Amino acid sequence: MTSVTMSPDIHAAITAVGHYLPETRLTNQDLMKLVDTTDEWIKSRTGIEERRILTGEKKGVSYMAAHAAQEILDKRGIQADEIDVIIVATVTADMSFPATACLVQAEIGATNAWGFDLSAACTGFLFALNTGAGIIESGRASKVLVIGSDKMSSITDYTDRKTCVLFGDAAAGVLLEPDANNNGIIDSELRMDGHGWEALCMLGGGSLHPATHDTVDQKMHYIQQDGQTVFKVAVKGMADVAVEIMERNHLTSDDIRFLVPHQANQRIIDAVARRMKLDPDRIMLNISRYGNTTAATIPLCLHDWELDLNEGDNLVLAAFGGGFTWGATYLRWAYDSVEAKHSDPSLIDAQQVL
């Protein structure tokens, strides 16, 4: 059963967005000093110009996730003890256990929350968003924090030009709350196919290959990717579910305010948008500035475009990632951007930047 049609009465709506971006920038020019690559190759093949890297000791994924969570609380004007559930989507948790969600809970002081981490690579945020929505719709919680946070630099081999140009570090997330005004998450199509696991994985450090000198020597603690294989299945997978969501909900391209795609490769995003018959001005695209931040890309887009969103706007979120995992979610935005602007003067107007 892959289709998730939500209850028509109470939907889970996004009511605030927050983010954290490390200050350190790693540009294509910087990478040209590390590996045999060019700015032209990286830009034309991926669309990426620079990424952010989290530096400094004792700063893992929870550090970024907690900052994003705090921004969400501040923008919504609520206290941490009002949060019921914290879900952190990540493949680069601070530690194997405890869950990053526990560390975020302690850092922000969410004394009444329970929570957990969710591992679905680049589809992590989408799966976490739908999990959080299910908890809201069940009536078991009224405030769920869903954060995507990944410190990809911690598992990137900066001597491997095939992967090191792709990834960056960031966190971003949303608050989910019940909505009775027909806004929020309406429908989703979520999938996985474990047969594809070897095309995108990190082999070392788990129970199959616990860390040893040998696993380190063999570079098993870094991302491995068969880029071309992933590229082909990603284009088809993301486009198929996005179009399916549109057809099932009788949406034409004119009805969609924005496609919010996972930012792995601009060529993948363009191909998906073409299948959806969407013009470029309906695509949230910030890969040039941040690269692929895995679970953070989709909420980071929502953050960057928040000022352009108004209540009732139809968004289609779509992602593809390791596993394989993929999916699309149709949601109606639940608040006017002008309110967010007043509460967060630091918000960037994405249209002005682009």
The catalytic site residues sit at 122, 262, 292
Smallest separation, CB 91 to ligand UT7 (Å): 10
The only residue of 320, 326, 330, 335 in contact with ligand UT7, by rule CB under 6 A:
320
Determine, following the binding rule CB under 6 A, whether residue 184 of this chain makes contact with ligand UT7. Answer: no
Cα–chain center distance at 349: 20
Smallest separation, CB 241 to ligand UT7 (Å): 15
DSSP label of 283: B
Q: How far apart are CA 256 and CA 246, in angstroms?
A: 9
The only residue of 128, 165, 269, 309 in contact with ligand UT7, by rule CB under 6 A:
165
The length of the chain is 354
SS3 (DSSP) at 14: strand
Q: List the strands of the sheet with 85-89, edge to edge.
A: 11-20, 169-179, 144-151, 85-89, 114-118
Q: Which two tokens stand for residue 30?
A: 């910087």
Determine, following the binding rule CB under 6 A, whether residue 239 of this chain makes contact with ligand UT7. Answer: no
Smallest separation, CB 4 to ligand UT7 (Å): 22
* 145 vs 234 by CB, closer to ligand UT7: 234
The only residue of 234, 300, 309, 315 in contact with ligand UT7, by rule CB under 6 A:
234
Q: How many residues bind ligand UT7 (CB under 6 A)?
A: 20
Q: Which residue has the tokens 């009224």?
A: 142
Contact yes or no for 242/269 (Cβ under 8 A)? no
Determine, following the binding rule CB under 6 A, whether residue 268 of this chain makes contact with ligand UT7. Answer: yes
Residue range at the interface with ligand UT7 (CB under 6 A); choices 70-78, 180-188, 205-213, 227-235: 227-235
The only residue of 10, 37, 43, 205 in contact with ligand UT7, by rule CB under 6 A:
37
Smallest separation, CB 79 to ligand UT7 (Å): 35
Among residues 39, 161, 127, which one has the least CA distance to residue 325?
A: 127
Q: How far apart are CA 170 and CA 117, in angstroms?
A: 16
The only residue of 292, 293, 329, 337 in contact with ligand UT7, by rule CB under 6 A:
292
The only residue of 231, 305, 326, 333 in contact with ligand UT7, by rule CB under 6 A:
231
* 136 vs 318 by CB, closer to ligand UT7: 318
The residue number with the shortest CB distance to ligand UT7 is: 227
**DSSP letter string over 101-140?**
HHHHHHHHT-TT-EEEEE--GGGHHHHHHHHHHHHHHTTS
Q: How far apart are CA 106 and CA 125, in angstroms?
A: 21
Residue range at the interface with ligand UT7 (CB under 6 A); choices 78-86, 157-165, 191-199, 203-211: 157-165
- Phi/psi-derived region of residue 20, left when phi > 0, alpha when psi is between -120 and 50, beta in every other case: beta
DSSP label of 85: E
Positive or negative, the Cα torsion across 349, 50, 284, 124? Answer: negative
Determine, following the binding rule CB under 6 A, whether residue 156 of this chain makes contact with ligand UT7. Answer: no
Determine, following the binding rule CB under 6 A, whether residue 122 of this chain makes contact with ligand UT7. Answer: yes
Contact yes or no for 141/102 (Cβ under 8 A)? no
* 132 vs 323 by CB, closer to ligand UT7: 323
Smallest separation, CB 265 to ligand UT7 (Å): 4
Helical (H) or strand (E) element with 184: strand 184-192
Determine, following the binding rule CB under 6 A, whether residue 228 of this chain makes contact with ligand UT7. Answer: yes
Q: Which residues bind ligand UT7 (CB under 6 A)?
A: 37, 41-42, 45-46, 122, 161-162, 165, 227-228, 230-231, 234, 264-265, 268, 292, 320-321
